[in-house]
Amino acid sequence: MNARYAIILAAGKGTRMKSKLYKVLHPVCGKPMVEHIINRVEETNPTEIVTIVGHGADKVQSQLGERSQYALQAEQLGTGHAVMQAAEFLKGKKGTTLVISGDTPLLTSETLDNLFEYHQGKGASATILTAHAENPTGYGRILRDHVGIVDRIVEQKDATPEEAQVKEINTGTYCFDNELLFDALENLNTDNAQGEYYLTDIIEILKADGKNVAAYQTEDFNESLGVNDRVALAEANRLMRERINHQHMLNGVSFIDPAATYIDAGVIIGAETVIEPGVYLKGKTVIGENCVITAQSQIVDSTIEDNVTIKTSVVEESVVRSGADVGPYAHLRPKAEIHENAHVGNFVEVKNAVVGEGTKVGHLSYVGDATLGKDINVGCGVVFVNYDGKKKHRTVVGDHSFIGSSVNIIAPVEIEANSCVAAGSTITDDIPEHALAIARARQVNKEDYAKKIPYMQ
């Protein structure tokens, strides 16, 4: 197989984004645009990837790590100039080079593979990835001769009124014969409206030298979307969400309203799971089979096993085991682990804690820095008081215990199995197995005392 190389153009600052974040690092469905690009490029099995960096070079390199080599474009002198910077890595090598922009996150690996194969099948020196645009404003136009052979690409600002009517547009993605590419780059000039080195001028240079130039038209215009401002960023997110949700539905997931459901790229969802409107599934989240995620829930970097119901709750960096249910209006903060068939009810917050199998924390309670065993009942308004002002401390509650309502447990405390804590108690000491702990003042009724209170008169 002919060697494949890839050059990712990621040097632009993206002034029109009006942002301190460099353009290619803006997220689309949870991943920076440039990460979407390198993921798709890697799926085409290139021998080498070179990313051209400039503005925000350190941040781009930090994002992509060792997945790419890097070349610095210190001055922004156009796309042709950007590709020139890859010469130290690729010049003189035999093979096919993909040139792709880091701000086109909707391109698919299937399209890129088809582009490679079409290029090689045609024996072309260059192949342009094109698309049909009903409104081509802002795109370079593909100009063909009288028999349909690609003649050249003309940029919007350089196009005549007649040329501007052409609806076949340049997506900014190309395949080149690698050796011919770097030879042609030496002949680029800046004789154009922008005063830049246009990569598109390579087409005319190759044509003038008698080389074969081809064009492969993608069926989906949306793949060509380049993100240059916040409007295009919002559209890229919408289109990517639509694509992601469509694939999940094909895999057996039910969406009540796909247009109002927000799922990051890379999230995994099992079959027969139902997702209601307003749900956000973010990061490295994995949802099992036969789950129900109700409206307005947000789950981030968490694992939800099979047969779980999450009712209008927030789950962050946590694990919910099979058969458990959470919510409504619960908050699982990082390092919460809810075991099989456990129940975490409304307005319960759990942080850095284990809620054991079959244990029930019904409502209005805080469980922080604690390990709860199996089949425990935690009453309403229980607080695990874990912080003394300087350090966090841990509480352990044994299996089959009962914690009454409005109990404060002042950590560190160990409550052994089969124990009972009376409602309203403040617990500061360990409780042995089978004991009942009562820590509250005895009730005293003072007859007629209310008559002495002015506002009671």
| Active-site amino acid positions | 363
73 annotated ligand-binding residue = yes
346 annotated ligand-binding residue = no
23 annotated ligand-binding residue = yes
2 annotated ligand-binding residue = no
Residue-wise over 140-174: b if at least 16 C-beta within 10 A, else e?
bbbbeeeeeebebbbbeebbeeeeeebebbbbbbb
123 annotated ligand-binding residue = no
11 annotated ligand-binding residue = yes
75 annotated ligand-binding residue = no
Report whether 338 contacts 315 (CB < 8 A): no
140 annotated ligand-binding residue = yes
Report whether 155 contacts 71 (CB < 8 A): no
120 annotated ligand-binding residue = no
423 annotated ligand-binding residue = yes
321 annotated ligand-binding residue = no
Alpha carbon distance 361, 175 (integer Å): 59
155 annotated ligand-binding residue = yes
12 annotated ligand-binding residue = yes
245 annotated ligand-binding residue = no
CA triple 93-34-245, angle to 5 deg: 125
333 annotated ligand-binding residue = yes
440 annotated ligand-binding residue = yes
How many Cα atoms occupy the beta-carbon half-sphere of 244 within 13 Å? Answer: 25
43 annotated ligand-binding residue = no
148 annotated ligand-binding residue = no
Site of tokens 């619960």: 330
- Amino acid code (one letter) for 155: E
356 annotated ligand-binding residue = no
Alpha carbon distance 214, 220 (integer Å): 19
181 annotated ligand-binding residue = no
Annotated binding site: 9-12, 23, 73, 78-79, 101-103, 140, 155, 170, 228, 333, 351, 366, 377, 386-387, 405, 423, 440
Binding residues for UDP-N-acetyl-alpha-D-glucosamine: 9-12, 23, 73, 78-79, 101-103, 140, 155, 170, 228, 333, 351, 366, 377
Binding residues for Mg(2+): 103, 228
